[in-house]
Every structure is written in structure tokens, then in C-alpha cells.
A and B are shown apart, each in its own frame.
Chain A
Amino acid sequence: MRRVAVVGAGMTRFMRRALETPQELSFEASRMALDSCELRLADVDVVCIGTAPDAFDGVHMKGEHLAHGAGGWHRPVMRSYVGGGTGVFAAIQGWYQVASGRADVALVLCEEKMSSARPHPQGAFLTIFDNITERPLLPNLIWIFALEMRRYMETYHIPKELIAQVAVKNKRNALDHPCAQLAAEITVEDVLKSEVLAWPVQRLDVSPTSDGAVALILASEDQATRITDRPVWIDGVGWNVDTAYWTDRDLAYPMYVERAARMAYDMAGIRDPRHELDVVEAYDPFDYKELHHLEGLMICGRGEAPRLTADGVTRRDGDLPVCPSGGLLGVGNPIAAAGLMKVAEIFWQLRGEAGKRQVPGKPRRGLAQAWGDLMQVGTVVVMSV
């Protein structure tokens, strides 16, 4: 297995609704990623695309439809999708193309354009529920988050005030992200007073729907050291899927995230993630999910992540910064692109290029994680300089 490094990254702004088409968004992010490491499209051996099911855009085979925007023509192209976990999963797809020796340079592109669905992108989510036993109940996506959030809160006796801190932190962090859609200075009280969608989920607990694209360039060790003097190595990758019988699981704990993390930690040689990681981009489509995932990543014990947040550990200037980018809650959530944004953030943080978002202390090791499908998949990458 060959060593693989991230050598370049690019992204568009994240927007509620973009003028640009999926191809145009993909082109902008891909072009920026290539420019950032002074490569040309001709240097790319394989293109790995991550984007949502076709129902989102209403365009059949949307991965193939936008492929040329990612340089995906007359070369090997693949598309993958595991719901919200896709962004990090696509990076893993690129990793094994290069690790296997099949490619020296891979372009990973994730794009989402959620604004096209009418009357609201929510409608496109209806089809993720079981067609025989669940869809006749007319569920919506917020249901499962509200159900999981309450289970988490009741199991560990977590008050909502502690969970709301995550929304406050991440939206504030996003004020320093030039691509952010929902950056804001808000208070815990603002979250608790915001519109109730499905109790305990309120408006400010939730990330927005977004349009946007992110691209990474991955290279083999030989190529990476030639391309840049600051490659960011991918030390570990992990992913895991739980059963689709989600009502049969205890929703208080994301075991599949733990399994994915263990796979990545074993590969990276990490035994004590709380102290061996310097910066973490945990997946935060909802504020409680960041906490849920910090526990699944074994950065703290079960039910302990709210305390970690209250103590300031996860602030950008804390002992273990979490979502210094501003996360999905602040930067936005174009689903597949949002996950890859987290990998790009770790790349920028470890290179010391995150500008106003830079975490102090020259971080050497970071982690990006995403989660998705029907609350059943965890995807993790560990990176270092």
C-alpha cells in the first residue's frame, strides 16, 4: 500500500441558491484545487465524484451529468454516494485509487445543488424511508433527527442549553470562513427561542440546505513530494455501515462511527484520540450530532461531549478545536460537498493556511468525519503533516 497525500484543495462559496449549474460549480472547485498545487487536468489519472441521489436535482445520472465539470472525461471516473457520509467517503475512494498504485494523481470532487427541488428540498428526502413500513406514515427527515436527539438527551440527561452551545460555536467560527452561508454571532438563548420544527429540534439547531462544490487533489508519495514541500498525509481511513433497521438500534450511540473510527485509528496508529489529535472536523448537520460524533470517535466517553463543549475544549482556541471551519451549521450543508469541505479544512489547518480560522499551536494531526444514509454510516479520515 502506497502513502497518499492531499496536495491541493478548492471550493466554491456555499449558498442557499446558486446561479451556477452543477457542472459550473464542479468546474470552479476543481480548477481551484488544480491551480492551488499548480497541476493541469492532464496530470490527473482518475476522477472520484461524490454527489447525492438523482432525485435531488431531478437530473437522471447526475454524477455522469456533471462529470466533465470535474475533468471526468476520457479517463477513469467513479461516483459514490453514502448519504451525508459521502464527502469523506469520496476522499477515501480517491485514497485507495492512489494507495493501490492504480493512479498517481486523483481528483476528488463533491458537488450538491439542493435548491432545485420544489417546493422544498425536504421533499427529496422522503424516499430514504422504507417504502413498505415507513413512507405510508408520511415521515420527514427532521423526524429521525428529533427522535435520535431526544434519545441522546434522555439517555445521558443532557439539557438543551448544553447542546445549543455547538450551534453558537460553529456559527461564530464560520464568521471567519469566506465561503460561509450562515455565519452569525448568536446566543444560546437565540437557539432556544428559535422556531420549533420537531421538538427537540429547533430552527437554529439545524444546518441549511445549500448549493456548492469542493475538490481535493490526492497524490502518491513520489508525486506529492514533487508537487509540494508541504503534503498532508492520509494516515488512516475508515468506514462502516450499520443495519437499515434503524428502529432496532439504540439511537443514543452511533456504533457505526466508532467502528469506522477504530478502523482509521488502527491504520494511523492512534491509541488515545483525545490527546493524539490536534484538530477535528466532526460532522455537524445538527448541533447535537457534533456531540454524538465526538463520543462515537471516542474523543470522550458516552454522554460527556456536552461537558467538553461547556468547558471550552472544542473552541477554536481550546485544547482540541472541533469544527474550526464553522462546520455545516455555519458554512452550510451542500451534502456531499459539506463532508469534503471538512477534509479540505483539515488540509488547510495542518498546512497553516486557514487564515483567521487557523487553530493555534501548529496542529500536526487532524481528523475529518461524516455520517449519513439512514443514520447508519460513519466515514473517517486521519491526516498529518
Chain B
Amino acid sequence: MSVRIQDFPGTPLREDDVRSGRVLTVSGAARAEYAWDLGVAMTRYLEELRNGRLVGQRCRHCGRVLFPPRAFCEQCFCPTTEWVALPDTGVIQTFAICHIAWDAQRIDEPKLPAVIAVDGASRNMGLLHLIGGVEPERVAVGQRVRAVWRPPDERQGAITDILYFTPTEA
């Protein structure tokens, strides 16, 4: 009963408590490495990325062009079998100007992650990627973008075969 309790338990520590050795800690690392199999749909998707192409899959029941491609339509719950070639262009749905890395450290050059709706896919369907080749202040929601690919001999069959998306009308 919140109002009747004066002292709530818990002992906050300060950085200095640990650094000075007043409080003991035990350190350890849990290193885990994996090699993920790509599955039916993603194998083809990444192979096509290596070829410099985007592909989706059409569901024969609902008619949606699914992107990223998937082996089954989660809405109709049936297998997808029809591959559809898509252009490497789209529209920025939203984007951010990010000044920190994955471990919360500051980075000098901000990154511009964005959700991009891919042309030819069903409404809203798209991917997370980066915007590049443009000053952050010139990027806008609704802007048309196209993929900038790695040179063919540097592609590995990975999402990073696209370096970034860049505005077509900047």
C-alpha cells in the first residue's frame, strides 16, 4: 500500500561506487555466433539482391504483392508461388537523423535510417534501409528514392548490397 510505506527497498549505485572498488562486480562475456539459414523466400531475395534486383511475391488469393518476399501469405495463410520483379525505386514513408551507434556511443556523421515503400509492392509494403548521397536537411517524407548498389563484383547476396537509397529529385 503505497501511501503507508515510507521506505521502499532498493539500493541505487553510482558509477563511482563501482570504479572505486567500494562495490564488487564480477564480469563475463557471453559470446555467441550463428550462421542463419535463409529459407525458401529469403534465399531467392538475397540472390536477386546480388544481381542488383528487387523481387516480391504475389499472393494468388488476396492479390497482394508481398515485400519483403515470403514463402506464405500471412493473411490468407497459403503458400506464395509467383515471383514479381520490382523496380529499385520507392517513396520515403518516414526517416530519422541518428547521432548514436548501436551501443549508444555518439557518431560523427549522422545515419539516416528510413522506411521506404517499394514501387510495385502493395500499399505501405517496404523495407528498412539508409538514405545517402544527400544532406539530411534535404530529405523529406514522401520523397521518391532509388537504390544505389554496390559494384557487381562486391555484392555478397545481402541487404547491404544496396549501399543506400538516394532521392531522385533532390
A residues apposed to B, CB below 8 Å: 9, 11-20, 25, 28-29, 32, 36, 55, 58, 118-120, 122-123, 126, 131-134, 136-140, 142-143, 146-148, 150-151, 154, 178-179, 196-201, 211-212, 243, 245, 247-251, 344, 348, 351, 353-355, 357
| B138 at the A interface (CB under 8 A) | no
Residues in B neighbouring A197, C-beta threshold 8 A = 98-100
The 6 closest A-B CB pairs, nearest first, are A146-B96, A13-B10, A198-B98, A28-B9, A355-B3, A151-B94
Q: List CB contacts (< 8 Å) of B94-129 with chain A.
A: 94-105, 113-115, 124-129
Known A134-B159, A147-B94: A13·B101 in contact at CB below 8 Å:
no
A344 CA to B2 CA, complexed, in Å: 9
Known A58-B30, A132-B42, A348-B3: A137·B160 in contact at CB below 8 Å:
yes
Residues in A neighbouring B93, C-beta threshold 8 A = 151, 250-251
Q: Is the CB of B128 within 8 A of A137?
A: yes
Known A20-B10, A133-B159, A348-B3: A148·B94 in contact at CB below 8 Å:
yes
Secondary structure call for the B interface: loop
Q: List CB contacts (< 8 Å) of B113-170 with chain A.
A: 113-115, 124-130, 141, 158-160
Q: Is the CB of A248 within 8 A of B124?
A: yes
Known A15-B10, A122-B104: A36·B115 in contact at CB below 8 Å:
no
Q: Is the CB of B30 within 8 A of A16?
A: no
1/0 per position for B30-49, CB-CB distance to A under 8 A? 10001010100010001000
Q: Is the CB of B28 within 8 A of A243?
A: no
Q: Is the CB of A131 within 8 A of B36?
A: yes
| B8 at the A interface (CB under 8 A) | yes
Closest to A19 in B: B11
Residues in A neighbouring B96, C-beta threshold 8 A = 142-143, 146-147, 150, 198-201
Q: Is the CB of A353 within 8 A of B1?
A: yes
| B68 at the A interface (CB under 8 A) | yes
Residues in A neighbouring B82, C-beta threshold 8 A = none
Q: Is the CB of B103 within 8 A of A251?
A: no
- For the A-B complex with A122-B100, A355-B3 known, give 7 more contacts whose Cβ atoms are closer than 8 Å: A13-B12, A18-B11, A19-B13, A122-B103, A151-B141, A200-B96, A245-B74
Most chain A CB neighbours (cut-off 10 Å) among B11, B46, B141: B11
Shortest CB–CB separation between residue B117 and chain A, in angstroms? 9
Q: Is the CB of A146 within 8 A of B98?
A: yes
B residues apposed to A, CB below 8 Å: 1-6, 8-14, 23, 27-28, 30, 34, 36, 38, 42, 46, 67-68, 70, 74, 93-105, 113-115, 124-130, 141, 158-160
A126 CA to B5 CA, complexed, in Å: 38
Pick from A146, A196, A353: contact of B2, CB under 8 Å: A353
Residues in A neighbouring B23, C-beta threshold 8 A = 19
Known A133-B159, A138-B102, A251-B115: A198·B12 in contact at CB below 8 Å:
no
Q: Is the CB of A354 within 8 A of B115?
A: no
Residues in A neighbouring B124, C-beta threshold 8 A = 248-250
Shortest CB–CB separation between residue B47 and chain A, in angstroms? 13
Most chain A CB neighbours (cut-off 10 Å) among B94, B103, B115, B128: B94
Q: Is the CB of B113 within 8 A of A139?
A: yes
Closest to A244 in B: B74
Q: Is the CB of A140 within 8 A of B101?
A: yes
Q: Is the CB of A248 within 8 A of B113?
A: no
A348 CA to B13 CA, complexed, in Å: 28
A215 CA to B50 CA, complexed, in Å: 52
A20 CA to B4 CA, complexed, in Å: 23
Known A11-B8, A151-B94: A198·B100 in contact at CB below 8 Å:
yes
Pick from A12, A122, A131, A143: contact of B10, CB under 8 Å: A12
Q: Is the CB of B128 within 8 A of A134?
A: yes
Q: Is the CB of B8 within 8 A of A12?
A: yes
Closest to B11 in A: A19
Residues in A neighbouring B98, C-beta threshold 8 A = 140, 142-143, 146, 197-199
Most chain A CB neighbours (cut-off 10 Å) among B3, B34, B42: B3
Closest to A150 in B: B94
Shortest CB–CB separation between residue A58 and chain B, in angstroms? 5
A324 CA to B129 CA, complexed, in Å: 38
Most chain A CB neighbours (cut-off 10 Å) among B2, B30, B158: B2
Shortest CB–CB separation between residue B49 and chain A, in angstroms? 10
Residues in A neighbouring B101, C-beta threshold 8 A = 138, 140
Residues in B neighbouring A25, C-beta threshold 8 A = 10
Q: Is the CB of B127 within 8 A of A147?
A: no
